[in-house]
Chain A
């Protein structure tokens, strides 16, 4: 039977974009895309070999400057579900980690805040209600639609930032078989082209092919 799914949409729009969306109190979805000029500019600055051998990561920072990172992600275009926890103000970066250890921030997302899972600690003098009263009245018999840990297992999850860096006390599981990551510095190159620049290069094509080979995610 023929099923009409409509016209095909473009895989990319050739813009620099990174956008974070809060799915629930624990998970944030991030998608991104690099403009055509971004990779050539990185290559000009750091060298073809360094960029080719570099690895792409998502780095998240919360308001308290804690950092957490995902495993390997696709470079030019991709998406990821990140478990960040409730009441976190998070901003993501797409980071290219070069073989010499430098981490280059290539894109930065909007800042999002995940909602709370528990009633506010704040009350209002004119509308005072103690925490005990509030929980007894409204929460004890209430079945919340979402409880912590209810989220499905997505490929993106937090991994510990190595010791010695801010936020190194975050506890999570590191993907098996992947090396620990080091983010000694956070570079923001000054001469990367801004959104909308054009100019495709062989290196960009190479990255795309490699990503596709790895099922849409850069793998090595």
Chain B
């Protein structure tokens, strides 16, 4: 008998980064690294689960900008070239390390094998990995959900129409890639405000996710806390994150990824290798950067990068099995406790950034594979479930209005609204109202006008991405985030002025369409 459910949810998102105007662009590496280290390993894992007949194992949000990048021919071509180079480097590394320290050589061989498998999968699907994700969804292994069109933080939109546009455009984009409209949504940054569920309902969505306090501070008190979804007044369901299981994976101190046997992220061959040797694998500017080939393990707490010990792949792989078993044991305990306390099978929602698995925590996909394999084979108390399957089995839910919340630092909006980024909003809000003005004004646009209107909508959406405000707060790639926001607002404003004055610069429009080429299917009338 099932005592409780575990609902692993991976949120896969990257901002839309596409620079055809440059032959080589640093920030495009974000996608390439995530593909090699996260998305492809997760697909391989999903395929193993599918072959084993597993169903309802995992929920995954693939955000619209990520889907658009994964389907983009230029980025596909560039990624293949990137992967071929990595494979070539790993080949050289296998030769270089032969006869030396055994652990280093084993690591080099591991990379060569991983890159070869990635290339095989990539070539097998002709670069269209969305097709493979869709196949996993069709086989019920995976439930894919959507997100805001460009991951805009919905509580900080100026008008309900702009919120609707973010959600509806996302749903249409999902339909383009996965053949039907989505049933659920990962709200960008889990940003919820009372009333947002009405927009979700309007778009046909049945459920979304919140951080723990979004439900615990809901109105009235939720009887089952965050261990059962609640129905918003509109009937849309909200699932909330389980704090305990989150901590076991997220926490830098107590979390599994901090185990000393796991790979050290910050020590990379790009910095360790002789310059002339590594130069062909760096960007055109020749600056040393991460290559993805790392030979050291975390080793110890507070251990300096220079004192790291060699990575030992079999030891790290063994650790994933132990950690997966421990994670399962803790969920069993948790399910048992809440089942006896509440009298219902609790649902333990475990959401994580997908990129944590593989990119930051190199062994993460293997940990997940062990966990998802162990759950149905080693015990009967808990089972993994997806939201769709949960709703099929459970139809009665308490009506609660969740509280304004996010999963950002301190739980609300400070990450996206503080002294580093608050200047953004007056520009974004102005653009929102102008976009609506255009949508109302142009009822029968000509061909070029329609193109300009659709492009204006794309520029607005791209400017709204929460990633830029996040980067400004965390001070990671500040010039790039500033440039992106300003450029999109600027392009939007030029298009707005041109439409308003009846003179469209076709060269400028074509340039915008070439660079910011997501959402080919967009219809600006969504802003009416």
What is A's interface to B at a CB cutoff of 8 Å?
3-9, 13, 15, 17, 19, 21-25, 29, 31, 33, 79, 114-120, 122-124, 126-129, 131, 134, 137-139, 142-146, 150-151
Chain B residues near A8: list those with CB within 8 A: 486
Query: Cβ of A7 and Cβ of B156 under 8 Å apart?
Result: no
Q: Is B489 an interface residue when CB atoms closer than 8 A count as contact?
A: yes
Query: Cβ of A120 and Cβ of B430 under 8 Å apart?
Result: no
Query: Cβ of A127 and Cβ of B223 under 8 Å apart?
Result: yes
Most buried by A among B405, B410, B479, B484: B410
Query: Cβ of B155 and Cβ of A22 under 8 Å apart?
Result: yes
Q: Is B292 an interface residue when CB atoms closer than 8 A count as contact?
A: no
Chain B residues near A144: list those with CB within 8 A: 213, 411
Contacts A4-B479, A23-B412, A115-B403 given: A123-B221 contact, CB under 8 Å?
yes
Most buried by A among B218, B243, B426, B429: B426
Query: Cβ of B341 and Cβ of A129 under 8 Å apart?
Result: no
Query: Cβ of A120 and Cβ of B220 under 8 Å apart?
Result: yes
What is B's interface to A at a CB cutoff of 8 Å?
155-156, 158, 193, 211-213, 216-223, 225-226, 243, 341, 398-399, 403-405, 409-414, 417-418, 422, 425-427, 429-430, 479, 482-487, 489-490
Supply 8 A–B pairs (Cβ within 8 Å), ascending by A.
A6-B486, A21-B413, A118-B217, A120-B217, A120-B221, A127-B222, A131-B221, A146-B213
Query: Cβ of B429 and Cβ of A19 under 8 Å apart?
Result: yes
Query: Cβ of A128 and Cβ of B223 under 8 Å apart?
Result: yes
Complex partner residue of A4 from B193, B429, B483, CB under 8 angstroms: B483
Query: Cβ of B412 and Cβ of A22 under 8 Å apart?
Result: yes
Chain B nearest CB: distance from A58 CB in Å? 15
Query: Cβ of A119 and Cβ of B417 under 8 Å apart?
Result: no
Chain B residues near A4: list those with CB within 8 A: 479, 483
Complex partner residue of B225 from A116, A124, A137, CB under 8 angstroms: A137
Chain A residues near B221: list those with CB within 8 A: 119-120, 122-124, 129, 131, 134
Chain A residues near B427: list those with CB within 8 A: 9
A126 vs B400: C-alpha distance when bound (angstroms): 12
Query: Cβ of B398 and Cβ of A19 under 8 Å apart?
Result: no
Nearest neighbor of A124 in chain B, beta-carbon distance: B220
A21 vs B222: C-alpha distance when bound (angstroms): 27
Chain B residues near A79: list those with CB within 8 A: 422, 426
Query: Cβ of A29 and Cβ of B417 under 8 Å apart?
Result: yes
Contacts A22-B413, A145-B213, A145-B411 given: A5-B220 contact, CB under 8 Å?
no
Chain A residues near B218: list those with CB within 8 A: 120
Query: Cβ of A22 and Cβ of B404 under 8 Å apart?
Result: yes
A31 vs B211: C-alpha distance when bound (angstroms): 28
Query: Cβ of A7 and Cβ of B487 under 8 Å apart?
Result: yes
Query: Cβ of B414 and Cβ of A145 under 8 Å apart?
Result: no
Query: Cβ of A25 and Cβ of B412 under 8 Å apart?
Result: yes
Chain B residues near A3: list those with CB within 8 A: 479
A43 vs B410: C-alpha distance when bound (angstroms): 45
Nearest neighbor of A110 in chain B, beta-carbon distance: B158
Chain B nearest CB: distance from A172 CB in Å? 21
A118 vs B218: C-alpha distance when bound (angstroms): 10
Query: Cβ of B404 and Cβ of A115 under 8 Å apart?
Result: yes
Nearest neighbor of B341 in chain A, beta-carbon distance: A137
Chain A residues near B426: list those with CB within 8 A: 13, 17, 19, 31, 33, 79
Chain A residues near B411: list those with CB within 8 A: 24, 144-146
Most buried by B among A8, A17, A123, A129: A129
- Ranked 8 nearest A-B pairs via Cβ: A145-B411, A6-B486, A6-B483, A122-B220, A24-B412, A138-B225, A127-B223, A115-B404
Chain A residues near B486: list those with CB within 8 A: 5-9
Query: Cβ of A116 and Cβ of B217 under 8 Å apart?
Result: yes
Chain A residues near B403: list those with CB within 8 A: 115-116
Chain B nearest CB: distance from A133 CB in Å? 9
Query: Cβ of B216 and Cβ of A139 under 8 Å apart?
Result: yes
Query: Cβ of B429 and Cβ of A123 under 8 Å apart?
Result: no
Complex partner residue of A120 from B219, B243, B410, B417, CB under 8 angstroms: B219
Chain B nearest CB: distance from A6 CB in Å? 3
Complex partner residue of B243 from A13, A21, A117, A142, CB under 8 angstroms: A142
